[in-house]
Amino acid sequence: MSELKPAHPPLEDLAVPAADPVRMDTVGADAARVWDSPDDDDDNPRDTRTFFRGRLLWTVRQYIREHGPLAAMLAVVFVNLAGYGIMVPLIPFFASSLNAAPWQVTLMFSIYYLGQFFAEPYFGRLSDRIGRKPILILTTALSVPFYIALAFAPNIWIAIAIRFFSGLSSGNISTIQSYVSDISRPDQRASRMSLIGAAFSLGIMIGPVIVGLLSHAPVTGGQFRPPLIAAAILSAIACVMVMLYVRESRQRTQTTVPPPILRSLKDALKNPVTLRVILATLGYMATFATLEATFGLWVKVRFGWDVAKTATIFPIIGVTAVIMLLVVMRPLVRRYGESKVLACGLFLFGLSFALQSLHNVEGLIAPIVVLGTIGQSVIFSTICAILSITTPSDRTGAMLGLNMSIGAMARITGPMIAGVLFSTFGPNAPLWMGAALTIPAAVLALQIGRLKKAY
């Protein structure tokens, strides 16, 4: 059975010494000959311009060769996540238009993550065997009919079933992360994962804007069809972009078949680094899911906020996350390393939970949310970078898929527990649970830094 390995040479092999223009490829060959010509002199501006034009074209070509695959993937992620971002604010109102009970509304979220729970490890392993590009084409293409079917769902139960299959088709995040790992050196992975995170954040920010622009009809089932059709169109565009612009990052060689999912889990639990990463992921994702499920209820009960006022927080979250991922993340990782940045992010995220539960001042909500977003934005990128560095290249997809599956499981169970705590002990109880979960996760992150040196 064949395995796939990186198809492109290491990026450092692409460099050409600037002092040796004869070694340039054909784009700048003519310019190099002009430069080395014995007849060359300073009185021939045309020859000089020819050289610099050829040199510029060669530089652009080398830049595209090095960064083009990443740029194409960032565009795909942005377009695809804009479709997902449409669903986040739309689902509660769409489900209500189908006369759904509150528990059915939350079920539409949980069932989606259940689909991801099953799909992520499977597609991750499959991408290790057949390549990243076929999986990305398949998953983005499958999303198109599911969005259209949801737009015309006649009742809530069919809508819930469609959401499950949508979750299955969205199980490509580990494949995207594996692709970025394939085309990056180990020292580049954290910063490049942060770029993927920024594309995620921008896509999710654009989604609600599309909903606002396209939802103008009276509150009936038909009101939500234009945004859902728009999501289908965005997925179709992402699929075409993968086919046209994403180059396969792995090539076939003869080797054994990757181990089954349960074997991958067993191997991960035996590895002290991956074990701690998985446990940290479990704690972080449960905390994040707690915030996702109860924040709207918390501001409503504590401060009487409505939907419109609650929505004003999300642009703040998005802008903060993008700034952190694009500007701050890279120098932090270079100076302190992935594990220390991860531990600090978990600490700040948990601290924001504790601070929110301790105050009664409405004006403090946004600053504390910014503090939590500063911590939260660096967590996931560093987790992915650590896993990609410490996992053999032939199992990167399987391991990242397993980690995403663990995260999906936390997003299924976290809201359920948070809902019980909210109803039983009051609105601050889920916040204290989230703060408590980040403490052991931060300790595990610090341990990862010491153990990672052995890998």
Confidence bin at 395 (pLDDT 50/70/90)? confident
pLDDT at 152: 92
| 425: its two tokens | 């002990």
pLDDT at 25: 41
CB atoms within 10 A of CB 454: 8
260-455, CATH topology level: Growth Hormone; Chain: A; (1.20.1250)
Task: Give φ, ψ of 250 to 5 degrees.
Answer: -135, 150
pLDDT digits 0-9 by tens, 6-46 = 554 444 444 444 444 433 344 444 444 444 444 444 555 55
pLDDT at 4: 52
pLDDT at 56: 64
Nearest-angstrom CA–CA distance, 406 and 283? 10
pLDDT at 252: 54
% the chain with pLDDT above 70:
78
pLDDT digits 0-9 by tens, 426-453 = 889 989 999 999 999 999 999 887 776 6
**More confident site: 276 or 393:** 276
Single pTM value for the model: 0.69
Inform me whether the pLDDT recorded for 364 exceeds 90. yes
For 155, which DSSP code?
A: S
Inform me whether the pLDDT recorded for 245 exceeds 90. no
Domain ranges of the chain: 2-60, 260-455
SS3 38: coil
Q: What is the dihedral of CA 350, 327, 247, 173, to 10 degrees?
A: 10
**More confident site: 109 or 281:** 281
The overall average pLDDT reported for the chain is 78
Inform me whether the pLDDT recorded for 210 exceeds 60. yes
